[in-house]
Amino acid sequence: MSLLSNITAATLAKDIRLEWRSKDAINSMLFFALLVVVVFSFSFDPLAEESRQIAGGLIWVSFLFAAVVALNQTWAREIRNQVLDAYRVSPAPANSLFLAKALGNFIFVAILEALMTPLFVMFYKLRPLGPAWQLIPIAALGTWALVVNGTFFAAMSLRTRAREIMLPLLLFPISIPALLAMVRSTTAILTGEESAKFWIVLLLAYDVVFTTGCLLLFETVLQAE
Amino acid sequence: MVTDLVKQFGRFAALRGVTADFAAGRLYSILGDNGAGKTTLLRTLAGLTPPTRGTISMLGSTSARAVCAQFGYMAHPSLLYDEMTGLENLGYFSRLYAIRDEGRCKEVITLVGLDPELSRPVGQYSQGMRQRMSLARALLHDPRVLLLDEPFSNVDLHSAREMVKLLGRMRDSGKTIFVVTHQAQLLEGTADEFVWMQAGKIVDRTPSLEPLKTP
Amino acid sequence: MKKIFPILAILTAGLLSYALYEALIVAPTEQTMGDVQRIFYYHVPSAWTAFLLFTINFVASIVYLIRRNSRADAVAVVTAEVGVVFCTVVLVTGPLWARPVWGIWWTWDVRLTSTLVLWLIYVSYIMLRRFSTSGQTPVLAAALAVFGALDVPLVYFSIWYFRTQHPQPVIGGGGSIDPRMLHVLLINWLAFSCFAFLICWSRYRLERLQRDVEEMQSLESLLEPRSVR
C-alpha cells in the first residue's frame, strides 16, 4: 500500500514538474478556457433572471470541453519514446500510475475551472441565491467524475485509431448521469429554487462506483496489447 | 533458465512455434532478417505481449509479471522522458523499482560512460548517448536478465564498442543477456551464442558468426 | 442444429404475424389516445428485448473478463449489435407516439431517456470494437460493457429525480393496464423475443464462422514458410 502511494506521489510530482517546465499544455489550455467563456457569452446573452437558469449548464459544458482537451494529452508523454513500455515492464502497480494521472488531471482541470468561473460570474452577472458553499463539493465531485473516467478511457483510446475522437465518444455517454447531476445541482444553487442534496449524493455514488471500477480494470487495460 | 515454448500470432504469425532453452549467465545475440520475429520474441519474453499459444518459463516462473523486477528491457525508442535530464529520468525510474540507494543512479550512469551531472535534457542527446542512457535505465535495478532490442542502432562505433564491453562484463558477473541486433558483428567474440531466426522460427544456433545455411 | 433453424424461422414468422394481427385488430382501442396507442405494442416489447440482450451482453462480458473465453466474446458482440437495433426501434417509436398524442417529439420520460443513454453507451461500444487496433479488443470492449452496466442504475435514478422536478408526459401511460392489452403485449413480446433470438443466432453463427476462418488463416500462415522479404 505504501509502495502504491510512493509511486503515485513520484509520478504525480514528475508530471507536475514536466508540465511546469514545458508549459505547453498549460498555456494553450488557459487560452482555450478563456476563448470558450467568451464564445459562450456571445452566443448566450441573457438577462439576469434567465442567466441563472442556464448558467449551470453553460458552465459545465465549457468545463467539459476544457476537460476533454486536457484528458486527450494525459498519456502523450508516455507514448512518445514508448515510456509506457518501461512502466509496464517494471514491478510498479498499474493503479499507482492511474491514480497519479487522474490526480494530475484533476488538479489541472480544477485550475482551469478556478480561472473560468470568475469570468462566467462576470459575464453573466451571477449571484447564487442558494447555499453557495455547496458549489465546492459539487465542483470537486463533478470534476473527479469526469477526470477518473476520462483518464481511464484515454488509456483505452491509446489502442484505437482516431484516438482523440475516441475519448469523448466513450466518455460522454457514460458521464451523462454525472453531467446531469452537475448541471442540475449548480442550477439549483444559482436559482435557489431547489435543493442540490440529491444531486450531490448521486455524484458521490457515481464517483465511488466508477473509481472502484477504474481501479479494478485499469491493469487489464494497460496490459492489453 | 529460460525454457521457451512459444507459438504466437499477431495479425499474422510473428512467431511460428519457437521452442528453446536458454542457459543463465550467457550472452545471446539474436539475429535475422526484418520480420523474422526477433522483436516479437523479445517482447514476449519481457511480458509485454502475451503469446497466443505456448508458455514461457523465466527464472522459474511462468508469469512474467511475477519476476519482472528481474528484467531489464531496452528498445529502439529510448523509453525515457525527453524533457528531463538523464539523472532525473533515472531518479524517477528508481522510484518505480523502490530503489532507496541515492547514489545508484549516478553509479549506473557512470557505468555506461556518461556524465551524471549533465544538465541537458535527454531529448537533446545524440543517439549514442540516448541509447546508453536507456541502457542505464535498464541496468538501474541490477536485473538478472537483460532484454535489449537494437541497442546499437544509430550509435557511433566507439560508443557501441564500449557498450559491448560493458555487456561482456555484465555477462561475466552472471547476468543473462539477450541482444537483438542487425549489427551482430559487434558482438563477435563477446557473445556466447548466435541465435538465427527466420520467418518466425529459430533456424540455427552457432557459437560464432559463421554464415547461415541458405534457406 | 441447422435443421431447426428454418423451422424456428417459420414459427417466428407465424408468431410475428399473429402478434401483428392481435396488436392492430384484436386489441381494444385505447380511450384517450385512440389507435396511435397501438405503437405501444412495438415500443414496449422492443424495449424489453433490448434490455434482455444488453443484460446478456453484460454477463458475457464478465465471463470473458474472467475466463477469456472466445465464445463469450462472440455472444457479447452479437447481443450488443442486435440490442442496438431494438433500442433504435424504441427510440423511433417513442417520438412517433408522442407527437400525435402530445404534440411534442420528445419528452424526458424516464424510460425513454434511459433507453437513449443506453443506446449511446452501446453505440460507443460498437465504435470501440470497430476502431480498436489492439489484439485485445475483446478485453477493452468487455471493460466498457461493465462500465456501461454500472452506469445504468445511476442513469435511471438521475433521470427519475430530474423528472420529479420537471414533470413531463409519461409515454406508455402510468397506472393499471387492461388485461386484454396485457395479453396482446405479452404475445408481442414473445414474438419479438423469438425474432431477436433468431437474428442473434444467425449473427452468432456468422461471427463464429468468421473467427474460424481467421483462425484457419492464422494456422495456415503458421505452417507455410513465408516468402523472404
Chain A residues in contact with C158 (beta carbon < 8 A): 176-177, 180-181, 199, 202
Smallest CA–CA distance, residue B181 to chain C, in Å, is 17
Report the SS3 class of residue A76. helix
Query: Is C109 inside any structural domain?
Result: yes
Express the helix, strand and coil content of chain A in percent, nearest 5 each: 85, 0, 15
Is residue B17 within 8 A of residue B7, CB to CB? The reply is yes
Residue type, B100: R
Rounded CA separation C73/C57 (Å): 9
Distance CA(A79)–CA(B130), nearest Å, equals 17
A119-150 pLDDT, tens per residue?
888 888 888 888 888 889 999 999 999 999 99
Chain C residues in contact with B199 (beta carbon < 8 A): 225-226, 228
For B22, how many CA atoms within 13 A lie in the half-sphere containing its CB? 32
**Do residue C228 and residue B11 have CB atoms under 8 angstroms apart?**
no
Q: Is residue C228 part of a domain?
A: no
- Residues of chain C neighbouring B182 (CB-CB closer than 8 A): none
CA distance to partner chain C, nearest, from residue A219 (Å):
11
How far is the C-alpha of A148 from the C-alpha of B197, rounded, in Å?
44
ipTM: 0.86
Residue of C nearest to B35 (CA): C229
Is residue C118, in this structure, part of any structural domain at all?
yes
Per-residue pLDDT in tens (0 to 9) along chain C, 229 residues? 577 888 888 888 888 888 887 777 777 777 676 777 777 888 888 888 999 999 999 999 999 999 888 889 999 999 999 999 999 999 998 888 888 877 888 877 888 888 999 999 999 999 999 888 777 888 999 999 999 999 999 998 888 888 887 777 676 655 566 777 788 888 888 888 888 988 998 899 999 998 888 878 777 776 666 554 3
- Kindly state the percentage of chain A with pLDDT values over 70: 97
Do the Cβ atoms of B116 and B102 come closer than 8 Å?
no
CB-based contact A67:A109 (threshold 8 Å): yes
Residue C229 lies in a domain: no
How far apart are alpha carbons B186 and B153 in whole angstroms? 11
Domain of C151 in residue numbering reads as 4-223
- In sign, the C-alpha dihedral spanning A38, A42, A43, A46 is positive
Burial class (CB in 10 A: 0-12, 13-18, 19+), C166: exposed
Question: Does the beta-carbon distance from C151 to A177 stay under 8 Å?
Answer: yes
Subunits next to A (3 or more Cβ pairs <8 Å) are B, C
Q: What local confidence, expressed as pLDDT, does residue B49 receive?
A: 83
| Number of domains composing chain C | 1
Question: Residue A209 CB: number of other CB atoms within 10 A?
Answer: 16
Q: pTM for the full model?
A: 0.88
Confidence at residue C228, expressed as pLDDT on a 0 to 100 scale: 44
Q: Is residue C25 part of a domain?
A: yes
Sign of torsion, CA C42 C44 C50 C53? negative
Separation between Cα atoms, residue A76 and residue A71, nearest integer Å: 10
